[in-house]
């Protein structure tokens, strides 16, 4: 349950390289390559999904399944547009 925490979805840019690396490190995964969507709870990035929706990295210390789902659906919508 999210409670009152807002979710922000935004496209990554070059300045987000450290955020994407941190999420990959926390998730014990390779960093995402190319454009990605970043999901933030409040002001904290907790997950990211590649624009093609195939790969995701997320903070394992947060409940992020709902954020990853939203990011994947948003990526699918962007590809369909």
Task: List the domain range (segments joined by +) for residue 40.
Answer: 1-50
39 occurs within a structural domain? yes
In angstroms and rounded to an integer, the radius of gyration of the C-alpha atoms of the chain is 12
30 occurs within a structural domain? yes
Q: Is 48 exposed, middle or buried (0-12, 13-18, 19+ CB in 10 A)?
A: buried
What's the pTM value of the predicted model, to 2 decimals? 0.90
| Residue entry with tokens 């954020």 | 67
Mean pLDDT by 10 residues, the chain (81 residues): 76 96 97 95 95 95 95 90 71
Per the structure, the count of domains in the chain is 1
Q: What is the DSSP letter of 59?
A: -
60 occurs within a structural domain? no
């Amino acid at each position: 349950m999210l409670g009152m925490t807002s979710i922000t979805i935004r496209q990554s840019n070059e300045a987000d390289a450290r955020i994407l690396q941190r999420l990959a490190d926390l998730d014990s995964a390779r960093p995402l390559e190319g454009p990605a969507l970043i999901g933030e709870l409040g002001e904290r990035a907790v997950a990211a999904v590649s624009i093609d929706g195939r790969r995701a990295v997320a903070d394992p210390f947060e409940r992020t399944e709902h954020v990853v789902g939203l990011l994947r659906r948003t990526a699918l919508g962007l590809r369909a547009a």
